[in-house]
């Protein structure tokens, strides 16, 4: 894939970039290693000052970088500006909390005495240069939720961004440099995916994080395992959205629309499988389908657009294949399901019912505004359907019965359970999944400690 900005609303190639040659890549790896030696000794206060400055600059740039993101990957521009604001919030959160999250810890006095030590500390030390392989769907947020904690922990970052968002990738490097971070603290590597393996094998790269597809995650995990390097993976998701009889069905259906089509439906944590108790199925389905059909699809740079184009022509083709496969196998198309005429990679909000286990869309992630409806006879069946997926990123449950909440929290195979609401990420809460959705956690204290050397410091008597 060329490194280029291709406007998904028109298919027009706007800018292309040459991949870095080996000499430039080597220079940047050397710079990352050299910078880490000094940056690791800076204080939390100094790191926080720089990160606060980056947040301020990002706020100032919000409108401009929002348009860049929309032009590169197609999300509605209002959502792009909101993404930039969220990134600034996360930067400030880590700037304010990192020192506390990584403060020295003292084990229980009894354990210290039992060990024969006069004093024992647990200290969090940085690892070194961390490679981040990031996707295009949230081109700022996915990077910042790695970069903010990594920089506050004293690591330095090397970004290999998706090849279709090069302007956003270069903006991030420039943002951190303008904020006052040394050049080697955060560098964008304009390289193709084929270069990732060699970069990860380089001894100067100490760890890696990847958000993206399952095949990409397998490749990075395989190389990292061979090289014995720490990784965090956030891969696909096919999140269930369960509605029980006691739920506020009107509110659940209303929010279900947002949960499915956020970011044009191209979100790992978007609700994708809507599992509804038979007692409220017809009511929910009517409201949900009406809401999906009423969404305004159009130019993502227009303020009133709710759903823009998919990010790539291949992405739309993949989504069409899933819908067509389900239709041929007997699924009912309740709205959408047909590619519109005209330029750009648009696909309408679509709802499928009557989905069975034999259909590809039952087990594969639909990365676009396509929802599947399931009818469940009781709570046990709802849990069975929800867990009948190779993925386990997050989940949504609508019920007013506390006993049902307890069952879902206990039994759903997911990294998060959101009750009477839709899945969202916040810098203060851990984020990640189980099964083929990956491993490790981002955000919160759990996320900042993922790329730390957790060191036991033992003092003799």
In which residue are the tokens 């084990």 written? 107
CB count, 10 Å around CB of 415? 23
Backbone angles phi, psi at 57, to 5 degrees: -65, -40
C-alpha span between 102 and 121 (Å, rounded)? 12
Q: From residue 359, how far is each of 207, 331, 367 by CA, in Å?
A: 38, 9, 16
Catalytic-labelled residue, pool 173, 234, 404, 450: 234
Q: From residue 289, how far is each of 217, 232, 285, 376, 397 by CA, in Å?
A: 34, 37, 6, 18, 19
C-alpha span between 344 and 330 (Å, rounded)? 29
Listing DSSP states for 243-308 in one string gives E-TTS-HHHHHHHHHHHHHGGGG--TTSEEEEEEETTTHHHHHHHHHHHHHTPPBS-TTSTT-SB-
- Strand pairing report for 230-234 and 438-439: antiparallel
- 381 belongs to the catalytic site: no
In which residue are the tokens 């947002």 written? 258
Nearest residue to 71 via CA among 170, 157, 145, 4: 4
- 268 belongs to the catalytic site: yes
Q: From residue 427, how far is each of 211, 250, 399, 421, 424 by CA, in Å?
A: 16, 30, 26, 18, 10
C-alpha span between 169 and 53 (Å, rounded)? 19
Q: Which residues pair with 232 in a beta bridge?
A: 209
- Strand pairing report for 271-277 and 370-376: parallel
Catalytic-labelled residue, pool 87, 268, 335, 452: 268
CB count, 10 Å around CB of 193? 14
Q: Which residues are catalytic?
A: 234, 268
């Amino acid at each position: 894939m060329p490194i280029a900005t291709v406007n998904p609303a028109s298919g027009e190639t706007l800018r292309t970039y040459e991949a870095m040659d080996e000499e430039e890549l080597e220079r940047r790896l050397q710079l990352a290693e050299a910078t880490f030696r000094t940056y690791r000794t800076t204080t939390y206060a100094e790191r926080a000052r720089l990160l606060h400055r980056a947040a301020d600059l990002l706020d100032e740039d919000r409108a401009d970088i929002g348009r860049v993101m929309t032009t590169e990957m197609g999300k509605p521009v209002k959502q792009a500006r909101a993404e930039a604001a969220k990134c600034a919030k996360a930067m400030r959160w880590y700037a304010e909390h990192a020192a506390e999250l990584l403060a020295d810890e003292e084990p229980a006095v009894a354990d210290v005495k039992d060990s024969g030590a006069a004093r024992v500390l647990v200290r969090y030390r940085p690892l070194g240069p961390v490679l981040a392989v990031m996707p295009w769907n949230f081109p700022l947020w996915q990077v910042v939720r790695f970069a903010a904690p990594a920089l506050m922990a004293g690591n330095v970052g090397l970004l290999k961004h998706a090849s279709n968002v090069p302007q956003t990738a270069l903006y991030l490097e420039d943002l951190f440099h303008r904020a006052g971070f040394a050049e080697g603290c955060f560098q964008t590597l304009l390289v193709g995916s084929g270069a990732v393996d060699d970069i990860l094998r380089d001894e100067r790269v100490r760890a890696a994080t990847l958000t993206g597809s399952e095949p990409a995650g397998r490749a990075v995990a395989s190389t990292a395992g061979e090289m014995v390097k720490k990784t965090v993976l956030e891969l696909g998701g096919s999140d269930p959205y369960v509605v029980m009889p006691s739920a506020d069905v009107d509110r659940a259906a209303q929010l279900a629309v947002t949960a499915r089509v956020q970011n044009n439906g191209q979100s790992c944590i978007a609700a994708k499988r809507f599992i509804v108790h038979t007692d409220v199925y017809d009511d929910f389905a009517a409201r949900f389908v009406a809401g999906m059909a009423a969404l305004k699809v159009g130019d993502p740079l227009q303020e009133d657009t709710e759903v823009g184009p998919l990010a790539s022509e291949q992405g739309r083709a993949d989504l069409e294949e899933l819908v067509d496969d389900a239709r041929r196998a007997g699924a009912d198309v309740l709205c959408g399901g047909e590619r519109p005429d005209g330029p750009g990679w648009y696909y309408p909000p679509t709802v499928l019912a009557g989905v069975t286990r034999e259909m590809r869309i039952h087990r594969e992630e639909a990365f676009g505004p396509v929802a599947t409806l399931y009818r469940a006879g009781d709570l046990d069946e709802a849990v069975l359907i929800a867990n009948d997926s190779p993925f386990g990123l997050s989940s949504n449950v609508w019920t007013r019965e506390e006993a049902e909440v307890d069952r879902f929290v206990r039994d759903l195979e997911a990294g998060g359970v959101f009750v009477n609401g839709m899945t969202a990420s916040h810098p203060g809460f851990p984020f990640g999944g189980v099964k083929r959705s990956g491993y490790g956690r981002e955000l919160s204290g759990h996320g900042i400690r993922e790329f730390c050397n957790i060191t036991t410091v033992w003092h003799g008597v």
